[in-house]
Structure 1
C-alpha cells in the first residue's frame, strides 16, 4: 500500500493536514535537536522529508522504512546528500547493532507496526545509554468538542480529498482507521515506559491531533 502512494505521499499529506505536517516536522526536529557528530535513526522515514531536516543540522542520519517503494523514492530525491543513507528495515527486527545511535525518532509510523511495543524495545536496543527517543504520532484531542470536529473531518472530508489527490484512496481509508483505533497520549506514554525508557514526557501539537513523545535510555 505504501509502495503505491510513495510518489505523491508528501504532497497528499500536506494537503490533507492543511499544511500542519510541516509544523509537526519542525517541532519534531526541534525536539531531536540534532548536532554535528551525532548518528540518528529516523525510522518510518518514508521518502526522507523528516530525515533531510536532521541532516541540515550536521547529523548523520539513517532513514529506515519497511516500504521498498518509499526507500526507492527517497533515494531518488535525496541521492546528493552525503550524510543521509536509506535502509529498508522492519521496526520489530532492526538490522543495526546495539547502542548504535545517539537519538532514534519515528514520525507517524509507530501505529503502522504490527507490534509497536516490540518496536519500542528495538529502538531502545539500538540507542546508546543516555540517548534519546522522539516519537511524533497522531493522537486524540482532549477537548470533546474539538475531537468531534476532528472525527467529522477524518470520516467525511478526508476520504473525499484523498480520492481526488491520491493514486490509492483506500490507503487513506486505512489512515483514518489507524488514527481512530490508536491509543491516546497517556497509553502510549505507558508503553514507552514499559519498553524500558525513562524521563517519558509528551506535549500536544495542534490541540492534540498529534502528540510529541520524548524519552531517554537509562545510563
Structure 2
C-alpha cells in the first residue's frame, strides 16, 4: 500500500515502487542533478572506474532507470544493457542508444553466468528483497566476475552526518517540490536512505549473497559508498 498519493511505503511493494518511479520518470535525471548539486555525474564516473571494465565485456546495469548510468558504463567499450522494473523510466530514456530490458531484480530475465560484470546504482534499497536481488546478480554473473553496488550510505564524520540527515528530511523534499514531477516520492526516497544499512552491514549482506572479497570505499564523505565484490 502507498503511504501517500504517488509515494511508496518502506514496505516496498514492487507495484507501488514501480508506479512511483513511473510517475517521476519525466524529470528524474534533472531532479537528481539538482538534489545532488551535480555530484550524480561524479558518482556515475566513479562507479564505471570501480568496475574496471574492458572492451567487449558484457555488463548488466540493474535499476538503470532512464539509462544515463548505462551510457556512462558504455564509455568503457563494454556491451552494457539497462534493466529496470519501471517501464516508465526506461521509456523516458528511449533517446539513449543502449539496450533496455524491463526486468525484476529478484527474478532477472537472463541466463546463468551471462555477464562479466554487474552494477546497481541507487536501486538496491528500493528492491523488496535486496538479498534476493544480490543472489540473482551473482547467478547471472560468471565466476570471477565483478559487482559494484553504488548506494547512499552513512557519512563517516558525525557532525556532517547530523547535517546530512537534516537535509534529507527537510531540504530534500522542499527542493523536490520545486523541480520534481512528484515531490511526495522524494519523501519516501529520503526515508529509505535513512533506513538503509551502513557500510559494514551492507558488506556482510553481499558476502552472505554469494559475493567474495567484498570491500567498500566512501565517496563524498560517506554520503555514497561503492561496494565491490567478486563472484565466488
Cα shift at 1:155: 1.4
- Secondary structure (helix, strand or coil) at the match of 1:77 reads coil
Identify the residue that residue 91 of structure 1 maps to in structure 2.
105
- Aligned: 1:103 with 2:117: yes
8 Å contact from structure 2 (residues 138, 231) kept in 1: yes
Q: Which residue of 2 aligns with 1:173?
A: 187
2:139 aligned to which of 107, 125, 146: 125
Where do 4+ consecutive residues of structure 1 move more than 3 Å? Answer: none
TM-score if structure 2 supplies the norm length? 0.90
How many residues of Structure 1 are paired with residues of Structure 2 in the alignment? 213
Contact 2:169–2:191 (8 Å) recurs in 1: no
1:31-50 counterparts in 2 under 5 A? Answer: 31-50=50-69
Structure 2 unaligned residues grouped into runs of 5+? 1-19
Deviation at 1:33, TM superposition (A): 2.1
Task: Quote the Cα distance in structure 2 between the aligned partners of 1:185 and 1:56.
Answer: 28
Does 157-166 or 52-61 show the bigger shift?
52-61
RMSD between aligned residues: 0.8
Q: Secondary structure at the match of 2:99?
A: strand
1:77 maps onto 2:95 in alignment:
yes
Cross-structure match for 1:186: 200
Partner residue of 2:214?
Answer: 200
What's the TM-score once normalised by structure 1's chain length?
A: 0.96
Cα distance between partner residues in 1 of 2:75 and 2:224 = 24
* Structure 1 stretches lacking a partner, 5+ long: none
